[in-house]
A = this chain, B = another copy of it.
Amino acid sequence: MTAAPAALPRSASIDWPETAARLLTQLRRNGTRVHAITNAAAQVLTANLLLAVGGTPSLTISPDEITAFATRADALLVNLGTLDNDRRAAIPWGIAAAKAQAKPWILDPVFVDASPPRLELARLCLAGTPCVIRCNGAEFAALSGRDPSPESVGEYAAALRSTVALTGPVDWVSDGERFVAIENGHPLMTRVTAMGCAVTALIAAFAAIEREGFTAAASALLVAGVAAEVAAERAAGPGSFPPAFLDALHGLDQAQIRARARLA
C-alpha cells in the first residue's frame, strides 16, 4: 500500500517533525486566519480545530459577504459537503478573492462519488488550481477516473499542477514530483463526523505559512495523525475522542511529533 511510485523520489531530505513543529509554532504566533466554506456538519469542529492550534477561523457562506471574509483571510478552504444554494453561489467568489490576493485555497471534494452535480462542480473548481486537494479513495477515483495508488496520485497531481493529499489508513501526499506516506493516525478518526474536513482546515492554515502545498499538506496530516494517537490513548470511545483530539492539538510539541512520526 505504501510503496512509492518508481517515478517519484521520496522526500527523505525533509525533516518532517521539525517542519511540522515549525509550522505549528508560526500558526500559533500569527493567529493565521482561515475562511472555511464548509459543510454544516463540519463547521463547529473545523472552527474549534483552528482555534485549538491558535488560528482564527471564519465560516460565513453568504454569497454577498464571502468576498470580504475571503479577502481578510490568509487562506481559504472550500469543502463541497451539504452543497446548498448559498454555498454554491459563494464558492466561485471565494476562490476569486483568494486568487486575486494570491492566497492559497484548498479543495475538499466531499462525496463527489455520490452526487453527479457535486462532481461537475468539483471539476469547475479544479480550473481555479487549488494549492492542495484533500480527498479519500472513493472521491479520488471519481475525480481522476483511476484507482488510487501512489502512481495515480502522483500523476493526477502533476496533471493538475497541484498537490493531492489522499487520506486513509495511510495518507499519501504528492505534488507530482515528490511523494510521502504518513502512517500516523487512529481508526477513531473515522468514527467522528467531519474529522477529515476539519483536518483539511489545518492544511489550509499551514499553506498560508508555507506556500508549497506538498510540505503544508504532509505536515498538517502528520500533526493531525500524531494528535489523534495521543487522543486515542486518553479517550474511552468516539464520544470522548474529539475533545481529547483538540486538547492534544493544543498542547502538541516537536518532541511528541518526533517520538511518534511514521513517514515513508
Residues of B within 8 A of A52 (CB): 191, 237-239
How many subunits of this chain does the assembly comprise? Answer: 3
Which residues of chain A (42-72) have a CB below 8 Å from chain B? 43-45, 47-48, 51-52, 57-62, 64-65, 68-69, 72
CB of A193 within 8 Å of the partner chain: yes
**CB interface residues, A 74-105, toward B, < 8 Å:** 81-86
Does A114 sit within 8 A of B, measured CB to CB?
yes
> Does A132 interact with chain B (Cβ within 8 Å)?
no
Q: Are A115 and B68 in contact (CB under 8 A)?
A: yes
Establish whether residues A58 and B243, one from each chain, have CB atoms under 8 Å apart when the complex forms.
no
Flag if B242 contacts A250 (CB, 8 Å). no
The reply to whether the CB of A194 lies closer than 8 angstroms to some CB of chain B is: yes
Interface check A140, CB cutoff 8 A: no
Q: Would B40 and A41 count as touching, CB distance under 8 A?
A: no
Q: Are A86 and B85 in contact (CB under 8 A)?
A: yes
Question: Can you add 8 more A-B contacts, CB < 8 Å, to A44-B194, A62-B84?
Answer: A47-B194, A61-B84, A65-B83, A65-B117, A69-B111, A235-B247, A238-B247, A239-B248
A/B interface sample: 8 pairs, CB < 8 A: A41-B47, A48-B193, A51-B193, A61-B84, A69-B111, A234-B236, A239-B250, A240-B244
